[in-house]
Amino acid sequence: MGSVIRVLTVLGLAVLFDPVVGMAQSGSGDNVLTEAEHAEGWRLLFDGHTTEGWRGYRSDVMPAGWQVVDGALTRVGRGGDIITKERFSDFELSIDWKVEPGGNSGVFYRASEETRVIYQVAPEMQVVDDERHPDGASPLTSAGANYGLYPAPRGVVKPAGEWNTARIVVRGSAVEHWLNGTRVVEYELGSADWTDRVANSKFAQWPKYGTIAEGHIGLQDHGDRVAFRNIKIRTLP
């Protein structure tokens, strides 16, 4: 039986929405795919209404500290890091995020659950209020950086309370971080440069760090309010 197409009003525009594929057939809106995106192989990891497809790190359930608020997957209280139920190897991830003033979070990829906490195994794209949080003082830990290893340039992130659009592209060992349309970081997992940087960082104490070939996408609970929307992914050949 075919899916039921319904008409939604988004920003005053009539949009035909197919709830099965999460695709906006015309117009635009949050947490939906355009026809072009659908044709390019994109799919939603968050439907804007439920936490389906997500769970706590090293847990079978979704923690209550993460809720859907105004169409965004939001850290509203203590809940710990969360991950996708699915695992991904080579992919392009697109995700919008905003933090409260002084807020800090992160997006992890290729996470396994072999370590006590997610940052001991999975590389991270930093999510932070550069202006107010101490991590913003260093390019190595500022917004868009490969946390603690590869720095991000200044002037790309938007102020706290505003939406940023991030992309993480992973193909084999090659990784790119994009923020608001600008490529801010590029590195190669397992390269001599990567290995040297890891060896001279806090991550040296965790042998599994950055070595997983296929793993979960993760969102960090760093104790601050942070919201994510338009979370979509496409696998890469």
Report the C-alpha gap between 37 and 185 in whole angstroms: 24
Domain final residue pick, 24, 40, 56: 40
Q: Which residue range forms the structural domain that includes residue 31? A: 1-40
Under the banding of pLDDT at 50, 70 and 90, the label for residue 58 is: very high
| CA 128 to mean position of chain CA atoms | 13
Which residue from 93, 79, 229 is spatially nearest to 162, judged by alpha carbons?
229
Instruction: Based on the fold, state whether residues 170 and 91 are members of the same structural domain.
Output: yes
Residues facing residue 74 across a β-bridge = 67, 227
Q: What confidence category does residue 4 fall into, taking pLDDT thresholds of 50, 70 and 90?
A: very low
Same domain, 35 and 135: no
Q: In this structure, are 33 and 73 located in the same domain?
A: no
Beta partners for residue 129, in sequence order: none
User: CA-to-CA distance for 180 and 86, rounded, in angstroms?
Assistant: 26
Q: Are 198 and 157 in contact (CB under 8 A)?
A: no
Q: Rounded CA gap, 35 and 33, in Å?
A: 7
Q: Are residues 231 and 147 in the same domain?
A: yes
Q: Are residues 58 and 118 in the same domain?
A: yes
| Judgement on whether residues 108 and 203 belong to the same structural domain of the protein | yes
Any idea which of 6-20, 140-154, 210-224 has the lowest mean pLDDT? 6-20
User: If you search the block for the tokens 């992309």, which residue do you land on?
Assistant: 167
126 and 11 fall within a common domain? no
User: What global pTM score does this model have?
Assistant: 0.88
Total Cβ atoms within 10 A of residue 223: 12
Q: Convert the pLDDT of each residue in 66-123 to its tens digit.
A: 999 999 999 999 999 999 999 999 999 999 999 999 999 999 999 999 999 999 999 9
Mean pLDDT of 183-196: 98
98 Cβ contact partners less than 8 Å away, ≥ 6 residues apart: 158, 160, 161, 162, 163, 164, 226, 227
Look at the chain and report how many structural domains it folds into.
2
62 and 153 share a domain?
yes
Same domain for 8 and 76? no
Is the pLDDT score of 237 beyond 70? yes
Same domain for 49 and 27, yes or no, is no
Same domain for 112 and 67: yes
pLDDT given for residue 22 in this prediction? 52
Give the closest residue to 231 by CA, choosing from 71, 112, 3, 111.
Answer: 71
CATH number for the domain that contains residue 66: 2.60.120.560
The whole-number pLDDT of residue 25 equals 38
Burial-class residue 215 by CB neighbours within 10 Å (0-12, 13-18, 19+): buried
Which has more pLDDT, 26 or 205?
Answer: 205
Whether residue 149 contacts residue 126, with contact meaning beta carbons closer than 8 Å, is answered with no
**Please, which residues bridge with residue 216 across strands?**
111
pLDDT for 57 beyond 50 = yes
**pLDDT band at 48; cut points 50, 70, 90:** very high
Do 34 and 113 have their domain in common? Answer: no
